[in-house]
Amino acid sequence: MNIAVAQSGGPTCAINASLVGVFKESLKEPEIDAIFGSVNGIEGMIENHLIDLKTMIFTNEDMELLRQTPSTVLGSCRYKLPDWHEDESVYKRILRTMQQRQIGAFFYIGGNDSMDTVQKLSAYFAEQEIDIKIIGIPKTIDNDLCVTDHTPGFGSAAKYVATTMQEIIRDSSVYSIPSVTIVEVMGRHAGWLTASSAVLHGLGEAAPHLIYVPEADFSLEKFMKDVRQEMAKHKAVIVAVSEGIEVPEGVQSGVVDNFGHKYLSGIGSYLERAVRAEIGCKVRSIELNVMQRCSSHLCSRTDIDESEAIGSAGVRCALRGETGKVMVFRRLNDMPYTVTIETADAKEVANREKALPREYINAAGNNITDQALGYFMPLIQGELVIQMNHGVPAHFTIQESLLK
């Protein structure tokens, strides 16, 4: 049989490592012949836009390069499959591609929305009695997938956030005048990534002095009070704020994607304007923006290795005859850090969000407790030896014309 793999949702530093895991494991299996990459996630399966990965990835060096390349080498999408009872046409098109290409297993690397596709497609095939295995491989910097201990991509983003935050702390502390620096972190409705900046507390930093996550109530009035209190103690106050905290209408664009998610951005500059207007001190906001999910020169080795391993495990799962499953991590221990890879039903993961536990947030709702540090610390450990190209990291890319 042949297999196909696709990548979906927002990019991370580790999605290509999971692709390498699927690819390498499939190469080992005599019963797998062609390994197709579907361009732009499930859209490639609908449009029959597949590329033969064996004609692009040849050597171990190619795979190493792909492992250190951020984003999704096959492109991505935010495509919501309709309910097949209402519209079966798109399922028929996917099936046509799969039958024409003799695909016996399809691996979808994505977040909670992509697991909706895994669930719907596997349920449709089961009802039609079609034997094609559908397996989900998790990823997201938001770390908000249910069942799994953490998600591939999160550890690298958390390492970037902590490292950049530490550099910002150094930079912001040089002048004698009081200042406030507000750092906006991604993560949608979940505060995991913003909260991970608290690892610096475990390394002896007092900052970030304030950390705001969507799981705690937020009000501008309380924020101002918190900032004033911290300014009384510190010359340079550093604030980490999640893009997903509750703010008045109009601060964000209001534009939504196919899954109904709002495009979030702008909270940092909103709070900057508020501090300037009310306190009048030196204030700067910094939006970490896409850098926090694509800065693979600073990725976590643990994250990249685990992401490859969970991709490989996905192939073994399909070959065991399972379908409609999502691969998940189960943590056995923080120190020494130990995880196993298991499976969960896609319906347990699809369209659900895992919030930051309440015990990780302090009583005032403006910082993270030390209890969270044991969870975060192992995920950011280790570095890749990055191959460089004339002074900048080398990336693996696919010819643009093949992706159009």
Of 285 and 312, which CB lies nearer to ligand F6P in the complex structure?
285
Task: Please identify which residue in 22, 145, 186, 350 interacts with ligand F6P, judged by CB under 6 A.
Answer: 186
Q: Is 111 in the site for ligand F6P (CB under 6 A)?
A: yes
Listed ranges 88-96, 182-190, 221-229, 363-371: which one lies at the site for ligand F6P (CB under 6 A): 182-190
Q: Is 166 in the site for ligand F6P (CB under 6 A)?
A: no
Q: Is 9 in the site for ligand F6P (CB under 6 A)?
A: yes
Q: Is 153 in the site for ligand F6P (CB under 6 A)?
A: no
- Least distance CB 209 / ligand F6P (angstroms): 24
Residues in contact with ligand F6P, shown as a per-residue x/- string from 223 to 242 under the rule CB under 6 A:
--------------------
Q: Is 113 in the site for ligand F6P (CB under 6 A)?
A: no
# chain residues binding ligand F6P, by CB under 6 A: 14
Residues in contact with ligand F6P, shown as a per-residue x/- string from 266 to 295 under the rule CB under 6 A:
---------------------------x--
Q: Is 144 in the site for ligand F6P (CB under 6 A)?
A: no
The yes-or-no answer on residue 142 being catalytic is yes
Write phi, then psi, for 288 (nearest 5 degrees). -65, -25
- Least distance CB 247 / ligand F6P (angstroms): 14
N residues, the chain: 404
Listed ranges 16-24, 56-64, 257-265, 328-336: which one lies at the site for ligand F6P (CB under 6 A): 257-265
**What residue ranges bind ligand F6P (CB under 6 A)?**
9-10, 111, 140-142, 186-188, 243, 257, 263-264, 293
